[in-house]
Amino acid sequence: MIEKIIDADNITAVKKYIEESADIVIMAHRNPDGDAVGSSTALMHYLRGLGKNAHVVLPNGFPDFLKWLPAADEVVAYDTDKEKAVNLLNDADLFFCLDFNALSRVAEIGDVVSALGTPRILLDHHPFPENEFTLSLSHPQACSTAELVFRLIYRLSGEMAITKDIAECIYTGMMTDTGCFAYASNNKDIYIIISYLIAAGIDKDLIYRKVFYNYSVNRMKLFGFVMYDKMKVFTASNAALITLTYKEMRRFNVVKGDTEGLVNQPLQIKGVRFSCFLREEVPGKINVSLRSVDDFPCNKVAAEFFGGGGHMNASGGEVYGTMDYAIERFKAALSKYSSLLTK
């Protein structure tokens, strides 16, 4: 029996919103990952099955290793197809906001949505949601937003509504947001849900290969370069740092998705509990990815030093300036939080 973590009144409210809507837009955060794309496309399939005109609009594109997902080719990226995206947003009767907790996380889409009076339903597992949504289904205890999409569909329409297409999208989101069930995945309900997804016809082993055995030669060379030349281990603090400059990323012809998972690699080193990855995707802007194990609070570091946030063990942020400045911010964070890493 799966625990009913979504309040019954919220299920009723979501059902009413869906019934009263014809055109529905689903959106997720910028630089969408497996959970953002998987949860969004899963909900799109479900709503279309109900006869709704449902579309996914994302702030920008997503990695190639997710483009095999059913109907992924129908996802509209705001940055490359702005006219179509804006038309879909303006025509919508209802918005579903997935895998983010503030409209600022959807970049320019947030400005468009804020100006509209269209109802907005939040479905997310990040803590501390902003008060910007008509209805907020925020459940940080869930392993992923994809898990919440399953729970929502299951409560609205039962297990028979979970088609193979929906199941593939949900499993991809759950798998990628837990590091292949290596963290945030001790809840027994996760595996009950997976049993339903397998019953719907997914091949979970094939999904793993499609996501993780689908990289370019350049990515493999990039990983080797990073591990050998660019990783620094701070043994006394049980931490590690990886940096990639704009010039280095161009050297390896990095495309979206090529750096996925790099931040996790140092956590395989004995004793390392905290990993930071600084990458300069455009000159003067450093994207920050943080990962940890046990109870080290990445999200506090992200908020205090990098203007970001996220989960305790997986967070991110940004730094505007030079790589040297970003490295100094990391060292300052390490100095403040070192006692928590060495206790």
Q: Identify the CATH number of the domain in which residue 47 sits.
A: 3.90.1640.10
Give one DSSP letter per residue of 197-240, joined into a string: HHHTT--HHHHHHHHHS---HHHHHHHHHIIIIIEEEEGGGTEE
Q: Are 305 and 332 contacting, i.e. CB atoms less than 8 angstroms apart?
A: yes
Together in a domain, 197 and 230: no
List pLDDT tens digits, range 70-84: 999 999 999 999 999
**79 is a domain residue:** yes
Together in a domain, 36 and 166: yes
Together in a domain, 137 and 248: no
Together in a domain, 122 and 166: yes
**114 is a domain residue:** yes
Domain boundary among the residues 212, 234, 258 is at: 212
**92 is a domain residue:** yes
Residue 26 three-state SS? strand
CATH number at residue 306: 3.10.310.30
List pLDDT tens digits, range 110-155: 999 999 999 999 999 998 899 999 999 999 999 999 999 999 999 9
Confidence (pLDDT) at 184: 87
Q: Are 122 and 140 contacting, i.e. CB atoms less than 8 angstroms apart?
A: no
Confidence (pLDDT) at 309: 86
Together in a domain, 149 and 262: no
**Residues 93-109, mean pLDDT to the nearest whole number:** 95
Q: Which residues contact 265 (CB under 8 A, 6 or more apart)?
A: 223, 226, 227, 231, 242, 275
Together in a domain, 117 and 13: yes
Residue 223 belongs to domain spanning: 217-342
Together in a domain, 132 and 230: no
Domain boundary among the residues 182, 212, 242 is at: 212
- Number of domain units in the chain: 2
Together in a domain, 160 and 222: no
**252 is a domain residue:** yes
Together in a domain, 175 and 319: no
Tokens representing 145 are: 């937003």
Q: Are 126 and 311 contacting, i.e. CB atoms less than 8 angstroms apart?
A: yes
Tokens representing 5 are: 């973590």
Together in a domain, 250 and 177: no
Together in a domain, 225 and 98: no
* Confidence category of residue 32, pLDDT binned at 50, 70, 90: very high
**Residues 41-65, mean pLDDT to the nearest whole number:** 97
Q: Are 169 and 146 contacting, i.e. CB atoms less than 8 angstroms apart?
A: yes
Together in a domain, 156 and 297: no
Q: Which residues contact 87 (CB under 8 A, 6 or more apart)?
A: none
**2 is a domain residue:** no
Confidence (pLDDT) at 214: 86
The CA distance from 143 to 329, in Å, is 29
* Confidence category of residue 257, pLDDT binned at 50, 70, 90: confident
**3 is a domain residue:** no
**206 is a domain residue:** yes
**292 is a domain residue:** yes
Long-range CB contact pairs, 11-17, < 8 A, 24+: 11/152, 11/155, 11/156, 13/135, 14/121, 14/135, 14/137, 14/152, 14/156, 15/156, 17/94, 17/119, 17/121, 17/135
Domain boundary among the residues 212, 247, 279 is at: 212
